[in-house]
């Protein structure tokens, strides 16, 4: 029995020595090697990171929003893969290199504003403010072609050649011709063109009519496309861009005559204000009212979205008089 206890005590000592040795070995390995992620793109290791989530969030944010300046967004066909590994402690993490490599593998899209004459793109400027300034300068100079000049946001995989405000104004300006003698002015003739659920009207100020009521702005945002002719057809309303989910208020009180899906308009609301006056709201992400419901001015009727024929979240607003689309900017904005 005594011999058995002696052997048992030796075995326990041996086990303790082995455990201590293993702990020491693991400690040495821990200091020599550390866990991290090898980042692979198309099967090739492009770098290492110990902050997988932060790096992935940074890549996703840049893909969606670009650099906040010239690049609007980036399309990346193949996303990086992350594989956990144990590397020597002297191996450096290089998130910036990984980020630059992933972004460089994609296609950047640049945002410009196209200045158009009779719907044809003529010049490009960098910002919305420059496009607005061009319109304002030409209107102030009373350029005779002002009603034919519009602008629209444009996304392109190529960096377009930009012009200065002064150069565009100088190129597009048409000086009014003085009347050699007094003339008797008559009301202009108006031609109408059927298009979808409403009619487009041409003539002075794009068919302006006094509607006998005051309209409130449905949303606050950036005007990205105005009313008028385009190379692709007729733009019957005013586009105001803002974030998805922004509440849309009724421009005036009235009865909802349509609330639902309407082809290229996407989720669509029409409000009848009486006396042949209607307002229409397109590309909504959600609808809060139904046909037959009465709404008051400013009441929330829908949410901004990008449904139907749309390239980004915005409200397409139409003002109709007896079924004929008018320029919304004659009444609001």
Residue 225 above 80 pLDDT? yes
Bridge-based pairing of strands 238-241 and 222-225 is: antiparallel
For 119-155, how does the pLDDT look when each residue is reduced to its tens digit (9 = 90+)?
899 999 999 899 999 999 999 999 999 988 998 888 8
Distance, CA of 108 to CA of 92 (rounded, Å): 29
Please give the pLDDT value at position 210. 76
For 193-202, how does the pLDDT look when each residue is reduced to its tens digit (9 = 90+)?
333 344 444 4
Please give the pLDDT value at position 186. 37
Residue 167 above 80 pLDDT? yes
Distance, CA of 118 to CA of 227 (rounded, Å): 12
What is the four-CA torsion angle of 40, 98, 157, 147, rounded to 10 degrees?
130
- Asked if 70 and 160 touch (Cβ cutoff 8 Å), the reply is no
For 242-278, how does the pLDDT look when each residue is reduced to its tens digit (9 = 90+)?
999 999 999 999 999 999 999 999 999 999 999 999 9
107 beta partners: 75
Distance, CA of 107 to CA of 158 (rounded, Å): 10
Please give the pLDDT value at position 3. 75
Please give the pLDDT value at position 10. 74
User: What is the SS3 assignment for 188?
Assistant: coil
Q: How many CA atoms lie within 13 A of 195 on its CB side?
A: 18
Look up residue 318 and give its DSSP letter: E
Distance, CA of 307 to CA of 216 (rounded, Å): 24
């Amino acid at each position: 029995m005594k011999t058995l206890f002696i052997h048992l005590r030796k075995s326990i000592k041996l086990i303790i020595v082995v455990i201590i040795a293993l702990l020491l070995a693991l400690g040495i390995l821990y200091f020599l090697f550390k866990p991290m992620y090898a980042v692979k793109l198309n099967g090739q290791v492009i770098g290492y990171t110990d902050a997988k989530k932060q790096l992935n969030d940074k890549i996703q944010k840049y893909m969606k929003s670009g650099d906040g300046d010239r690049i609007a967004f980036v399309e990346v066909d193949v996303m990086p893969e992350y594989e956990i590994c144990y590397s020597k402690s002297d191996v450096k993490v290089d998130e910036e290199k990984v980020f630059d490599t992933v972004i460089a593998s994609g296609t950047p899209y640049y945002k410009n504003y196209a200045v158009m004459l009779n719907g044809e793109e003529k010049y490009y400027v960098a910002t919305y403010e420059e496009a607005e300034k061009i319109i304002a300068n030409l209107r102030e100079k009373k350029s005779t072609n002002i009603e034919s000049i519009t602008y629209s946001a444009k996304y392109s995989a190529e960096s377009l050649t930009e012009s200065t405000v002064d150069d565009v104004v100088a190129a597009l300006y048409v000086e009014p011709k003085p009347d050699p003698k007094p003339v008797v002015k008559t009301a202009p003739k108006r031609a109408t063109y059927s298009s979808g659920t409403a009619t487009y009207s041409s003539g002075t100020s794009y068919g302006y009519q006094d509607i006998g009521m005051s309209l409130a702005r449905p949303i606050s945002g950036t005007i990205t496309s105005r009313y008028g002719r385009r190379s692709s057809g007729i733009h019957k309303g005013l586009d105001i861009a803002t974030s998805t989910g922004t509440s849309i208020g009724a421009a005036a009180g009235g009865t909802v005559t349509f609330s639902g899906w309407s082809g290229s308009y996407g989720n669509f609301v029409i409000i009848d204000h009486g006396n042949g006056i209607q307002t229409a709201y397109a590309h909504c992400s959600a609808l809060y009212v139904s046909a037959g419901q009465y709404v008051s001015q400013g009441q929330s009727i829908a949410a901004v979205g990008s449904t139907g024929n749309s390239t980004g979240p915005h409200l397409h607003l139409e003002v109709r008089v007896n079924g004929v689309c008018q320029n919304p900017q004659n009444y609001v904005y």
